[in-house]
């Protein structure tokens, strides 16, 4: 989970928790195609969006439970290292200009 999503959770303090989690998770999911770009085959997979949504909800709940973004960030880093390595080794990422 990015720091901006943690800021969205903090900014929605007056909203019910479920709505705040949904709101920040939707933006978390929508931000990923923008970061990866249209050149990634993985962005065309519905499985990716489902897993991003589930991870966004879990990381938001961790944020609420621990009152810290630290554990969500650590977990996100581990997931990214694993996911990025798999996509690179399986040649599922096509860099721009190829």
In a domain, 94, yes or no: no
93 and 87 Cβ atoms separated by less than 8 Å: yes
In a domain, 82, yes or no: yes
**Rounded Cα gap, residues 98 and 94, in angstroms:** 7
| pLDDT tens series, the chain, 98 aa | 555 566 778 777 788 888 888 988 998 888 887 776 666 666 777 888 898 899 999 999 998 898 888 898 899 888 888 877 776 677 666 665 55
What pLDDT does residue 38 have?
61
In a domain, 98, yes or no: no
In a domain, 97, yes or no: no
What pLDDT does residue 95 have?
60
What pLDDT does residue 4 have?
59
In a domain, 42, yes or no: yes
What is the domain extent for residue 73? 3-89
Distance from the Cα of residue 58 to its chain's centroid: 10
Q: pTM value? A: 0.73
Count of domains observed in the chain: 1
């Amino acid at each position: 989970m990015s720091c901006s999503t943690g800021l969205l959770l903090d900014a929605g303090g007056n909203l019910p928790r479920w709505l705040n989690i949904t709101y920040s998770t939707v933006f978390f999911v929508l931000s990923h195609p923008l970061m990866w770009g249209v050149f990634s085959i993985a962005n065309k997979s519905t499985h990716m969006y489902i897993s991003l949504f589930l991870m966004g909800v879990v990381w938001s709940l961790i944020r609420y439970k621990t009152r810290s973004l630290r554990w969500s960030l650590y977990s996100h880093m581990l997931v990214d290292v694993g996911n990025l390595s798999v996509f690179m080794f399986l040649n599922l990422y096509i860099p721009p200009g190829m």
